[in-house]
Amino acid sequence: MNKTAPENRFQKTNRITIILLFMVILAGAVVRGTGSGMGCPDWPKCFGCIVPPTDISQLPKDYKQKYVAQRVKKNEHFAKTLDVLGFGDLATRLRQDKSILVPEDFNAAKTWTEYANRLVGVITGLGLFATAIFSFSYWGKSKLIVILSVFNLVLVGFQGWLGSIVVSTNLVPWVVTVHMLLALAILAIAIYTYHAARVHGKTRIKTIPLIHLVTWACLAISVIQITMGSEVRERVDAVSARLSAYRNGWLNSVGQIFVQHRDLAILVLFANLMLYALIRRHFSRHSVQQQLMSFTFLIIMLQIVTGIILSYLSLPPFAQAAHILLASLMFGAQFYLMLNLYRSARMSGASV
């Protein structure tokens, strides 16, 4: 079925936005790895400016006290929200966290790293906004595409707010993990709407149930692995505050969660080996299914390499950023593979 110009515009915008979402995840990973989260102590501006300063001489002498006060006020609002939601103990710990009162020294490199992260986020937000607007070209054919595109725009707004909370609260446990999982949810919705638009009007042909089951299992294990990795990162943040001068000992102080995360990587590898064997057996070599599976397997191997680098080279920031980006690429490829499997005939090599 031929697509209209508005429908083609939606698909193109959606595809670009998916690429931007991966860039946002990478930018966020760089911020985390370099400790640049407080490079801009206020939001949405940076040190009260649209374009941030490059030297401390451009800031008022009382800038530390000013932004600490703003941070305390913001955290009190968040603590009240936690009280309402029934997380009174967490709200109390947040109010009693004295580290929030410690001001950050100005660092131009960290400031511009965080500013670049925000710029990528804004551009991605505009991409999601355009995607939501252009999705209405499908209103008469698939209202789900429109509903999910608009819902994704709402989600990314919430994600932006949650990101500011991640930094403002000194990375309160579980907030970082929720932030990462929400990023994957936004990515999954964008991939789903893109795929749904691409295959709209085409005949749906299901494949072998075993392949779907193994694909779902691989996807679930990957999400668990990413969640555990985020929890490892939370523990590292907590340990680094106490052992800032002993970077090579951070992982050893994280606890059992790191061992579990490392061991689960073996299960991820073997589960995807099983899926790879099934895909090779039931789909032609040039099919999108085999291409996606080959890409996924390459990503997994690179993920293992960066994990080894993190473990034995004291968590270098570049490896942290690469590890998170690779995890999101693996998730995206597996999710798109799952969507394609629902529309592919055995040995057909059908691709969308």
The set of long-range contacts for 99-103, using a CB threshold of 8 Å and a minimum separation of 24, is 99/170, 99/241, 100/68, 100/71, 100/72, 100/75, 100/168, 100/169, 100/170, 101/68, 101/72, 102/68, 103/64, 103/65, 103/67, 103/68
- 118 and 98 in a common domain: yes
Give the gyration radius of the chain's Cα atoms: 22
With a cut of 70, say whether residue 247 has pLDDT above it.
no
- pLDDT score at 298: 93
Does the pLDDT value for residue 345 go beyond 50?
no
Boundaries of domain holding 78: 1-202
pLDDT level of residue 244 (50, 70, 90 thresholds): low
* pLDDT for residue 234: 74
Contact 16, 195 (CB under 8 A): no
How would residue 95 be classed by pLDDT, with cut points 50, 70 and 90?
A: confident
Residue 190 has pLDDT above 90, yes or no: yes
- CA–CA–CA angle 57, 59, 63 (5° rounding): 135
Co-location of 222 and 161 in the same domain: no
Q: Which of 167, 186, 202 is the last residue of a domain?
A: 202
Lowest mean pLDDT among 190-204, 274-288, 314-328: 190-204
Q: Is the pLDDT of residue 159 over 60?
A: yes
Q: Is 209 exposed, middle or buried (0-12, 13-18, 19+ CB in 10 A)?
A: exposed
Looking at the structure, do residues 134 and 245 belong to the same domain, yes or no? no
Residues 243 and 314 in one domain: yes
Of the residues 202, 226, 243, the one at which a domain ends: 202
> Residue 262: its pLDDT value, please?
85
What is the maximum span of the chain, computed from C-alpha positions, in angstroms? 69
129 and 246 co-located in one domain: no
Phi, psi of 309, deg, nearest 5:
-60, -45
Token look-up 């090579």 returns 248
- Does 165 share its domain with 265? no
Is pLDDT at 90 greater than 70 in this prediction? yes
Q: DSSP H helical segments within 45-142, as ranges?
A: 63-85, 88-96, 108-134
pTM: 0.87
Range from 62-71, 167-176, 231-240 carrying the lowest mean pLDDT: 167-176
The domain tally of the chain equals 2
Q: Is there a single domain that holds both residue 178 and residue 238? A: no
Residues 121, 104 share a domain: yes
Res 347: pLDDT: 35
pLDDT value, residue 349: 45
| Number of C-beta neighbours around residue 51 at 10 A | 10
The mean pLDDT value of the chain amounts to 84
**CATH number for position 324:** 1.20.120
169 plus 37 within the same structural domain: yes
For residue 315, pLDDT beyond 80: no
pLDDT band at 352 (very low <50, low <70, confident <90, very high): low
pLDDT at 343: 61
Same domain, 298 and 313: yes
Last residue of a domain, one of 202, 229, 252: 202
Pick the range with the lowest mean pLDDT from 93-107, 286-300, 328-342. Answer: 93-107
Say whether both 209 and 324 belong to one domain: yes
Q: Same domain for 46 and 80?
A: yes
